[in-house]
Chains A and B, each alone.
Chain A
């Protein structure tokens, strides 16, 4: 018998308690359903929180990802693009002194009030002013015709994915010229690009530097919000960054493109409470799920204390019974995750359609949530197995 035991390995010592766990769960369908719905609820809560959080991060850096340059200058007190502090334009001229730098382009950014020509409602959008020939703006959907058009006075390009409250600009544009007001000034929309609402702005618009100062007369041309620096082909970005830091005064910071994206992302994650709030949401989802699963497992053990004690009397080790309880926890994790994932997908679709912030179900997110829910069930199981100590076979007589 001992020989046979060695030959057949350890698999049955895992599978048998797992099967016992499943048989125990399966026996009471109503309790199983309650336990699973608890896990489903936790799953959904976490999916929604993570969905909004990643959507926030992705949308927050949409503009940054669409900038085509190697290095960027921002004022050292700037926290985020939409509320950036302008720095002296002279810094860009100074940067040109570095041999690796091919060209520089200032980018002006300001919140400006736009009037919906149909409803006359006024809403704030984020206006970008840039030299259209500098080639540093690579917003999705931008056309050469559009970039040429904004060199004319009072002409802008509009964000096709801006919130509907701004007006159905893309539809109107298909029918004819769109005229409205921007910063209390008559404006014509000549074309479109696609950025979409971010947590910092509900819509965006792009125009030339000259137009920018017309719409935002208070913004000094001598101060820019972001400086885009394009390096010569083959130049080492890190070395150029270090050289620029030595060269320029400390009122500006020098960032590579990944750093610029990370900078904006970190702002939303840390400086703004939004990242914290979503993190808290995930934590609450986990805690609620933990409590539900723990409650189910604990009461299962409490109600079957006699059975567990009987198994101990029959020679089952504590480890075997621990595996039974952990098996239950893992079965609940899997059975709750599957409908949780499907419902999460449905809610993502719904949210994307309703609030225009695209929530996407990625493999990373699916795996991440599964890991969290799995961990949640393991923790619940570990907490619940303490109750197993109460199953004393000596009390069976």
Chain B
């Protein structure tokens, strides 16, 4: 089964005459368990594509099926439900400053009110151990290094066992070595847990972690796409 299946996706910003198209009849498939990298220059529309796949924007034209959910015509509630099955890793870590590392990771589990608090914290602690910073569980983000914060963010994106992990320029705020290390870690965990990963980046140093690299330009896939 495909984790992501996009067909003839067109997206415009603005209204009427002034509307600026960013995606042109774009089609794309990501198979379950695949680690896919999407590259391309700024303004090529790759971030827009990511927000559409993540259910953060309403689909305008075309079809976008993510984890079996058709997002074309989906209302906010349906998109919120999808987001809970997706793990997000942002360019900046976007951790909550008033929560410890462990509490931040547990936030991904708090969406599900049925879990017990103990279970949430245990799973968060285990995930922090998996990303190699078990000793930082009680630290606040402000006291962590950039690499450590991004590891907490990775733990948060993985802890609720999402069907798809979306990452946007995850290495942008990190130096080259730390960036590569964290991406290797993400790739290893994804492979161990058979998670699908879709990374938007223009960092050529991390191409080696991907099963497949797709390039975009002017709202179209230009190479590496299998539709």
Which A residues lie at the B interface, using CB under 8 A? 1-2, 4-5, 7-8, 12-13, 16, 20, 23-24, 26-28, 304, 306-307, 310-318, 393-394, 396-397
Please give me the residue from chain B that is nearest to A8 by CB atom.
B114
Chain A residues closer than 8 Å to B86, beta-carbon distance:
315
What's the minimum C-beta distance from A303 to chain B, rounded to whole angstroms? 10
Within 79-97 of B, Cβ neighbours of A (below 8 Å) are at 80-86, 88, 90-92, 94, 96-97
Task: Answer yes or no: B54 CB below 8 A from chain A CBs.
Answer: yes
Interface readout for B110-151 with A: 1 if CB under 8 Å, 0 if not?
111111000000000000000000000000000000000000
Please give me the residue from chain B that is nearest to A316 by CB atom.
B111
Q: Is the CB of A315 within 8 A of B84?
A: yes
Chain A residues closer than 8 Å to B56, beta-carbon distance:
313, 393-394, 396-397
Q: Is the CB of A315 within 8 A of B113?
A: no
Chain B residues closer than 8 Å to A394, beta-carbon distance:
51, 56-57
Task: Answer yes or no: B178 CB below 8 A from chain A CBs.
Answer: no
Chain A residues closer than 8 Å to B114, beta-carbon distance:
1-2, 4-5, 7-8, 12
Task: Tell me which of A2, A7, A16, A315 contacts B83 (CB under 8 A).
Answer: A315
- The docked-state distance in angstroms from the alpha carbon of A397 to that of B48 is 9
Chain B residues closer than 8 Å to A27, beta-carbon distance:
97-98
Q: Is the CB of B112 within 8 A of A1?
A: yes
What's the minimum C-beta distance from B76 to chain A, rounded to whole angstroms? 8
What's the minimum C-beta distance from A44 to chain B, rounded to whole angstroms? 29
Chain A residues closer than 8 Å to B189, beta-carbon distance:
none
What's the minimum C-beta distance from A390 to chain B, rounded to whole angstroms? 15
Q: Is the CB of A12 within 8 A of B94?
A: no
Task: Answer yes or no: B103 CB below 8 A from chain A CBs.
Answer: yes
**With known contacts A26-B98, A307-B96, A397-B168, A314–B111 Cβ distance under 8 A:** yes
- The docked-state distance in angstroms from the alpha carbon of A317 to that of B83 is 10
Chain B residues closer than 8 Å to A306, beta-carbon distance:
92, 94
**With known contacts A5-B113, A26-B98, A307-B97, A315–B90 Cβ distance under 8 A:** no
Chain B residues closer than 8 Å to A20, beta-carbon distance:
110
- The docked-state distance in angstroms from the alpha carbon of A12 to that of B115 is 9
Q: Is the CB of A16 within 8 A of B90?
A: no
Task: Answer yes or no: B44 CB below 8 A from chain A CBs.
Answer: no
- The docked-state distance in angstroms from the alpha carbon of A4 to that of B114 is 6
Q: Is the CB of A13 within 8 A of B90?
A: no
Task: Answer yes or no: B47 CB below 8 A from chain A CBs.
Answer: yes
- The docked-state distance in angstroms from the alpha carbon of A245 to that of B99 is 73
Chain B residues closer than 8 Å to A310, beta-carbon distance:
88, 90, 94, 96
Task: Tell me which of B47, B50, B96, B110 contacts A16 (CB under 8 A).
Answer: B110
- The docked-state distance in angstroms from the alpha carbon of A13 to that of B114 is 9
Task: Answer yes or no: B107 CB below 8 A from chain A CBs.
Answer: yes
Task: Tell me which of B47, B88, B91, B97 contacts A313 (CB under 8 A).
Answer: B88
What's the minimum C-beta distance from B47 to chain A, rounded to whole angstroms? 5
- The docked-state distance in angstroms from the alpha carbon of A310 to that of B97 is 12
Please give me the residue from chain A that is nearest to B90 by CB atom.
A396
Q: Is the CB of A23 within 8 A of B168?
A: no
Specify which of B47, B92, B94 lies most central, judged by the most chain A CB atoms within 10 Å of its CB: B94
- The docked-state distance in angstroms from the alpha carbon of A394 to that of B57 is 6
What's the minimum C-beta distance from B142 to chain A, rounded to whole angstroms? 10
Task: Answer yes or no: B108 CB below 8 A from chain A CBs.
Answer: yes
What's the minimum C-beta distance from A32 to chain B, rounded to whole angstroms? 11
